[in-house]
A and B are shown apart, each in its own frame.
Chain A
């Protein structure tokens, strides 16, 4: 019996050794190594001032060793990105930007790490309070990655940037330009994620300009064109808030929801939407009754 037990142990150890060896420089060991280094980096980020310089050096060396050991891994661009982020944590913004620029130059625009690096460059200029270069980098993102999530946000981010800087006129111009930009994207990329995001951002621009009716109609378009049940709840909330609270208009949301139910008679959201319509009608009636009551009292 002892011999058989030893045989079991030998088989288990052999299988483990063989399978480990076959994938020794594969993607999984790279992920494991990266995870371990990132855990060390997290301890630095938790309290950057408390971390001794030796820890920074150790983590930096680990990332460099990772790049040498797994040169073909898909995680190498991330390792470069983390090297830049370590410099950011040390407030060496110039050094960080050099690393991020090398990522942008070395990797094709198809690789999302380039966009991530540009986003970090924006962050570094924000921390340095350098508005000129923040805007320059936003424009770079818009030019090089126009259809990405961040790229689409750039027009509205520029408007927000001007608002934060209290440049009211420039903010107005930026918002108007953003509205034109999103309308163009909606026409150019129908039935796509780009159109979906552009509609959302266009509605946000209208709300910033207090063009409530345009905002509600844009949300209505979004609801009808993209009836994914995961998003309908949030869009309905936005329509209700803007229509009822900001505009005092009860009929506009009802017409949008009735159009939705007619377009998608079997949609799973129709039942709750019908309840919303009833509630709005009730609210409208209460509102009318109260308005009438107030009018009568004022006439007295």
Chain B
């Protein structure tokens, strides 16, 4: 008689991540779409870096002047606005490009596992046919993250009003304000886990976005925390970058250092994404195989 436990794929977080990393290292073509993501992000950062300067300021100056202030068009205050501008650019890049590149990588990984690795063009054609669903899935996960940020923002606004400089209220204020970037990170991981198998299902099973979401939730029923840890462990690599970003003081150091930290964060985030989605796809394929 079949043992039900044998039907469940073995859930070892570190083992799954290690297997995914080995797959990535031995089949570097899976990483190729991520190199395109890095290129696009670096190019957009470069353009924003030159936004206050001629000739790009012809386009950007009126926008920055209207939405923020004239001061941010001058050195070194432009470096205060740059991370914010880049964050807005990243939102668009994530929805339109990142998500598609992640889907391409998953499709490539699936092709390698199914011994179809030399069919790059057909993989591209098949994945692009699901582009709308992939982008929709990215928009949905992005909206959930934004909802959390808005919700957390209410706590943040309340914490800012606390006037105490000692005692329990001061501790709460420090935790809420100082912990904001880390809370945002953890919640992003949570949302990644929530939508963990949507893109693999869209790409591999050729399903539409809402069907993929329902099927993904079915898989998550028995493996949510496993998927969360799969997303969380590689994300720890980003924590030192976050510490660096939050500790840089513009006045005391070279302002351009903020740009270098942004460049570093691009590489780290893309690398972390590659590991996370390769691991999730690997686990999904093992679940699929058992079925």
Give the residues from 6 to 44 in chain B that come closer than 8 angstroms, CB to CB, to chain A: 28-29, 32, 35-36, 38-39, 42-43
The distance from the CB of A227 to the nearest CB of chain B, in whole angstroms, is 24
Q: Name the B residues within 8 Å of A12 (CB-CB).
A: 39, 42-43, 46
> Is B56 touching A1 in the complex (CB atoms < 8 A)?
no
> Is A26 touching B75 in the complex (CB atoms < 8 A)?
no
> Is A15 touching B54 in the complex (CB atoms < 8 A)?
no
Q: Name the B residues within 8 Å of A4 (CB-CB).
A: 32, 35
Q: Name the B residues within 8 Å of A28 (CB-CB).
A: 52-54, 74-75
The residue on A at minimum CB distance from B39 is A8
Give the residues from 1 to 60 in chain A that come closer than 8 angstroms, CB to CB, to chain B: 1, 4-5, 8, 11-12, 15-16, 19-20, 22-23, 26, 28, 31-32, 35
The residue on B at minimum CB distance from A7 is B39
The distance from the CB of B46 to the nearest CB of chain A, in whole angstroms, is 6
> Which DSSP category, helix, strand, loop or mixed, fits chain A's interface?
helix
Q: Name the A residues within 8 Å of B167 (CB-CB).
A: none
Q: Name the B residues within 8 Å of A16 (CB-CB).
A: 46
Contact A23 to B53, CB < 8 A, known contacts A1-B32, A16-B46: yes
> Is B29 touching A26 in the complex (CB atoms < 8 A)?
no
Partner of B29, one of A1, A19, A23: A1
| Interface assignment of B72: CB less than 8 Å from any CB of chain A | no
Chain A interface extent, by class: 10 to 19
Q: Name the B residues within 8 Å of A8 (CB-CB).
A: 35-36, 38-39
> Is A35 touching B53 in the complex (CB atoms < 8 A)?
no
- Digitize B85-105: 1 where CB-to-A-CB distance is under 8 Å, 0 elsewhere: 000000000000000000000
Q: Name the A residues within 8 Å of B75 (CB-CB).
A: 28, 31-32, 35
> Is A22 touching B32 in the complex (CB atoms < 8 A)?
no
The distance from the CB of A52 to the nearest CB of chain B, in whole angstroms, is 22
- Digitize B46-64: 1 where CB-to-A-CB distance is under 8 Å, 0 elsewhere: 1100101111100000000
Q: Name the A residues within 8 Å of B42 (CB-CB).
A: 12
Partner of A19, one of B28, B32, B36, B53: B53
The residue on B at minimum CB distance from A34 is B75
| Interface assignment of B178: CB less than 8 Å from any CB of chain A | no
Q: Name the A residues within 8 Å of B181 (CB-CB).
A: none
| Interface assignment of B153: CB less than 8 Å from any CB of chain A | no
> Is B54 touching A23 in the complex (CB atoms < 8 A)?
yes
> Is A22 touching B55 in the complex (CB atoms < 8 A)?
yes
The distance from the CB of B25 to the nearest CB of chain A, in whole angstroms, is 14
The residue on A at minimum CB distance from B40 is A8
Q: How far is the CA of A5 from the CA of B74 in the complex (A)?
A: 33
| Interface assignment of B76: CB less than 8 Å from any CB of chain A | yes
Q: How far is the CA of A20 from the CA of B50 in the complex (A)?
A: 8
Q: How far is the CA of A11 from the CA of B163 in the complex (A)?
A: 51
Partner of B46, one of A1, A15, A22, A31: A15
Q: How far is the CA of A44 from the CA of B129 in the complex (A)?
A: 64
Q: How far is the CA of A20 from the CA of B54 in the complex (A)?
A: 9
Q: Name the B residues within 8 Å of A22 (CB-CB).
A: 53-55
Q: How far is the CA of A28 from the CA of B56 in the complex (A)?
A: 12
Q: Name the B residues within 8 Å of A20 (CB-CB).
A: 50
Partner of B28, one of A1, A15, A26: A1
Q: How far is the CA of A31 from the CA of B36 in the complex (A)?
A: 34
> Is A26 touching B54 in the complex (CB atoms < 8 A)?
yes
Q: How far is the CA of A8 from the CA of B39 in the complex (A)?
A: 6
Q: How far is the CA of A35 from the CA of B52 in the complex (A)?
A: 16
**Interchain Cβ contacts under 8 Å between A and B, 5 examples:** A4-B35, A15-B47, A19-B56, A28-B75, A35-B76
